[in-house]
Structure 1
């Protein structure tokens, strides 16, 4: 039986506080930037970029995700912008899967920690599965599981026709902020709820326990590690160095790969936030893709390396 310590409580509170501040700032900043981009880039332009013929849109969406340094939760504001721009459903899902898993910092950490071959393997799996999943979900008609209200921007006040040009510009910046703030208030209950649960799990689940249930002798270590990773809110930049510690505690390298993808590709907080956009069927499909990607990468890693 695990004994609750003051250190565990402090760790949970610290994690909640840090993430609450970080995600609040990220959400507001990213939402505002997306609002500015939407003001200058017509929705049709976004649609044309992400709906390229012969699958180019899927590849573009994947690499767009790879160059955006977002964690699983901070992809939500960008996702909101893609929804309101009526970007293609499949390409939007590719971005959602790829963004938290692929960026230059993560790939650099993989090279330093595991070597170039493993970094290339990780990039290939994450990019390939993201594109395949986005394409498959679109062809299977999962777009119908997006909530109708997700496409609608909050109603903003109208600018009077006799306003000066300078006033109109100022009002536009203010209206973007008002829309951003209204969006934030909508997701705030989901954000706080998901963070509370995730912080408790993070603080009360010691690394020794994770390593003990996902060691090399356990044939189910890979799926267990993938599932354990989902509730934890750990950015890939943090979980990759952490994996070195877990390896010294007996955790298998395939299970470590699954844990990295599971924890970075999704989180309980992100799932709760996605509830404001997606119906349950879409949430389940999203989780199955992340777990499937983690398990596939974990077993393939064990076999190849």
Structure 2
């Protein structure tokens, strides 16, 4: 393949455009989420999910979208749900939906792929999360929770704000928290944009089309499985996927890649081992991979 100056210009132009657009989007949505969390704190979410009724499953999937999305808060929060005696099914719905219905993902999805694709993604992720949580509870998977998971964890904050910051207004504190979150994901966001821009400018369209186009019936499951060990954060995988789609990757495979990488990373699985026994870990991975493959094939069929 011959590299040209035009390819380099295309890559740089794409990087500049995505860097500005996605940075502004991340900061805006993160701040709005911080404001929402000010009125619906984690303790309130725990109380709501502790009620064992039919509506709890839907509520759990919706509340999953407004929870903290740094990894150091996920496991202690999940243990908090256990100590609050939250229903196992609603807790699992929350676990599945939280990383997938994250406002950052939804916002990036809408800007990158359009409202129609975003609604489809949201509907599939929410539906499969609810069905899976209900099914796992009925099958008795609650027995695969480790006894030590019910022990109070050592409290560790994600944001590390000093006590002196209490004197500041809550709006300023929300902004400082938003900025701290942004600095943490910045390497992943820029890395994904950079990789996506290089793919957009330099990767041969023929190669992507041959490996992951709609003509390859195995493109969807391969993308779903590859997404997990790659550990690509959603902030990175969406611009990367956009570049792959522009080069000919089917949107079904793109959907599977995003769900696989955002729904279950190796790091998350390792952290979950402090709560779940191996059968529950296997069930968790099965649900995420199954959701990714279902979304991929269903999108190809419908659209």
Q: So what's the TM-score if we normalise by structure 1?
A: 0.65
Please name the residue that 1:84 is paired with.
83
Matches within 5 A, 1:188-267: 211=208, 213-267=211-265
> Which residue in 2 is equivalent to 1:270?
268
Q: CA RMSD in A?
A: 3.0
Instruction: Answer yes or no: is the 8 Å Cα contact 1:72–1:100 preserved in 2.
Output: no
Unaligned runs of 5+ in 1: 1-32, 155-178, 182-201
Rate the CA distance shift 1:213–1:115 in 2: closer, same or farther, 3 A: same
Which segments of 5 or more consecutive residues in structure 2 lack a partner in the other structure?
A: 1-36, 157-191, 193-197
8 Å CA contact 2:213–2:249 kept in 1: the answer is: yes
CA drift at 1:239? 1.2
Q: Please list the CA deviations of residues 161-212 of structure 1 after superposition, one character each: whole Å capped at 9, or x if unmatched.
A: xxxxxxxxxxxxxxxxxx225xxxxxxxxxxxxxxxxxxxx9xxx9769946
Taking a change above 3 Å as real, the CA distance of residues 268 and 73 of structure 1, as seen in their structure-2 partners, is farther
Secondary structure of the residue aligned to 1:219 is coil
Pairwise CA distance, 1:213: 4.1
Deviation at 1:105, TM superposition (A): 2.4
Residues 33-73 of structure 1: CA deviation (Å, up to 9, x unaligned):
9xxx78xx5xxx86752244641111111111012251677
Shift of 1:82: 1.1
Equivalent residue number for residue 116 of structure 1: 115
Structure 1's 122 and 69: CA in aligned 2 closer, same or farther, altered over 3 A?
farther
* 1:90-149 deviation per Cα after TM superposition (whole angstroms, max 9, x unaligned): 111111000101122222222211111111111111111111111110010000001111
**Residue correspondence of structure 1 range 19-98 to structure 2 within 5 A:** 49-52=48-51, 54-70=53-69, 74-98=73-97
- The number of equivalent residue pairs is 221
Distance 2:242 2:225 in 1: 19
Three-state SS of the structure 2 residue aligned to 1:153 is: coil
Q: CA deviation at 1:237?
A: 2.6
- For normalisation by structure 2, the TM-score amounts to 0.65
What is aligned with 1:149? 148
Partner Cα separation in structure 2 for residue 53 and residue 145 of structure 1: 19
Describe the shift of the 1:114–1:147 C-alpha distance in structure 2 as closer, same or farther (beyond 3 A).
same
* Deviation (angstroms), 1:83: 1.8
